[in-house]
Amino acid sequence: MIKIALLGAGRMGSLHGRNAAASARLHLAWVVDPQADAAARLAAETGARVATLEAVLADPEVKGVMVASSTDAHLADTLTCLRAGKAVFCEKPLSLWAEELETAGAELTAPGLPPLLVAFNRRFDPHIAALARGLAEGRIGKLESLHIVNHDPATPSLDFIPRSGGLFRDFTIHDFDLVAWLLGEEIEEVFAFSSCLIDPAIAELGDTDTAKTILRGASGTLCVISNSRRSGYGYDQRLEAFGSKGALRIENLRDDAVSYWGEDGPHGSPFPYAFPDRYGDAYRAELDHFADVIEGKSSPRAGFAESLGAIRLANAAQLSVQAGAPVRRNAEGKFDV
């Protein structure tokens, strides 16, 4: 068993901590969180013990650290752990701010550092992986366009909005990373419309809740991303890839394979309501990949470069909305009007 530690006993930290405890390959030894109660509760639940970050980094048997601290601490915590020689599994995003990432870039890409895995969960979903295999095998010929629907079941707490980084950096970032992964070429242009249709309080906080973004790839490929903070029917997570010889698509999962036929027609079981349900397998696969990375069997599927790429696309969409114009990639890889 590979001994690991966890930084952060909040929502995502608890999810990863429980998965680590149930893993046959990883031994979650330590939980670190400034909130002593949260740390103690999660440690009790997972059979781990509470520790300070210093103690964890000083433990030579600890091979990896899962960073699930607050978003604005991700990058600093990651750097601290990497410098201490620990492999890092960092909950996404590594940072919400491209400038921070650019500043840290030289260090993060220097040779000799332990591996860094940034946990973009879509990359580990078995359904998306199956679609990606289909693309790679040429089932639909040359890929021409991608459609992504990513609608949350219900709006987050209003408290969260100001520290979220905004719809594009917080939420669409998953889709930007998907596009970058699946499209296989650079995005050259981005345009977005966004509206606040669900809750005017979100607009008062300077954010939006509904957006449609279109992106053009280097060879003219076209991608559409639809985002909404509230679907009314669960977590809408769909993907369609159109190519020269056909299409591959992922429909929403259902809670089970039962359907009910009644007076008003056929009903399927509901869609998974929220991300821990929809992406449960992906979260477990991420951890298994982290075990592979620590053991040197794989290199991380996503790390610094993917984090910077996704944030730059989020910035591009944000800038497009502000400028009311499409933005284009410049020679440095950033987007401007």
- Residue 39 as a binder of a copy of itself (CB under 8 A): the answer is no
* Residue 144 contacts residue 249 (beta carbons within 8 Å): no
Both structure tokens of 29: 């030894």
> Among 55, 226, 301, 334, which residue interacts with a copy of itself (rule: CB under 8 A)?
226
Q: Which residue, 269 or 299, has its beta carbon nearer to a copy of itself?
A: 269
Q: Which residue, 142 or 163, has its beta carbon nearer to a copy of itself?
A: 142
Distances (CA, A) of 94 to 100, 205, 308: 10, 24, 9
Q: Which residue, 69 or 145, has its beta carbon nearer to a copy of itself?
A: 145
* Residue 282 contacts residue 15 (beta carbons within 8 Å): no
> Among 3, 41, 49, 147, which residue interacts with a copy of itself (rule: CB under 8 A)?
147
At 337 the three-state DSSP class reads coil
Rounded to the nearest 10 degrees, how much is the dihedral formed by the CA atoms of 132, 135, 137, 141?
A: 180
Least distance CB 33 / a copy of itself (angstroms) = 22
The Cα 143–Cα 149 span in angstroms is 18
At 52 the three-state DSSP class reads coil
Q: Which residue, 205 or 222, has its beta carbon nearer to a copy of itself?
A: 222
Interaction mask 273-312, a copy of itself, x per CB under 8 A: ----------------------------------------
Size of the site for a copy of itself (CB under 8 A): 75
- Residue 126 as a binder of a copy of itself (CB under 8 A): the answer is yes
- Residue 11 as a binder of a copy of itself (CB under 8 A): the answer is no
The Cα 56–Cα 271 span in angstroms is 40
- Residue 322 as a binder of a copy of itself (CB under 8 A): the answer is no
Q: Which residue, 49 or 212, has its beta carbon nearer to a copy of itself?
A: 212
Please give the residues from 179 up to 208 whose contact with a copy of itself meets the rule CB under 8 A: 189, 191, 193, 195-198
- Residue 253 as a binder of a copy of itself (CB under 8 A): the answer is yes
- Residue 212 as a binder of a copy of itself (CB under 8 A): the answer is yes
> Among 60, 111, 112, 262, which residue interacts with a copy of itself (rule: CB under 8 A)?
262
- Residue 148 as a binder of a copy of itself (CB under 8 A): the answer is no
Least distance CB 54 / a copy of itself (angstroms) = 29
* Residue 317 contacts residue 213 (beta carbons within 8 Å): yes
- Residue 234 as a binder of a copy of itself (CB under 8 A): the answer is yes
The Cα 197–Cα 187 span in angstroms is 28
Least distance CB 212 / a copy of itself (angstroms) = 5
Which range touches a copy of itself (CB under 8 A), out of 16-24, 34-42, 98-106, 288-296? 16-24
**Count of all residues that appear for the chain in the document:** 337
Is 320 buried (19+), middle (13-18) or exposed (0-12) by CB count in 10 A?
A: buried
Q: Which residue, 97 or 193, has its beta carbon nearer to a copy of itself?
A: 193
Q: Which residue, 85 or 270, has its beta carbon nearer to a copy of itself?
A: 270
Least distance CB 67 / a copy of itself (angstroms) = 23
Our CA angle for 304, 305, 309, nearest 5°, is 120
- Residue 103 as a binder of a copy of itself (CB under 8 A): the answer is no
Residues 6+ apart with CB under 8 A from 89: 16, 64, 65, 66, 67, 117, 119, 286, 287, 290
Is 18 buried (19+), middle (13-18) or exposed (0-12) by CB count in 10 A?
A: middle
- Residue 246 as a binder of a copy of itself (CB under 8 A): the answer is yes
CA-derived radius of gyration, the chain = 20
- Residue 141 as a binder of a copy of itself (CB under 8 A): the answer is yes
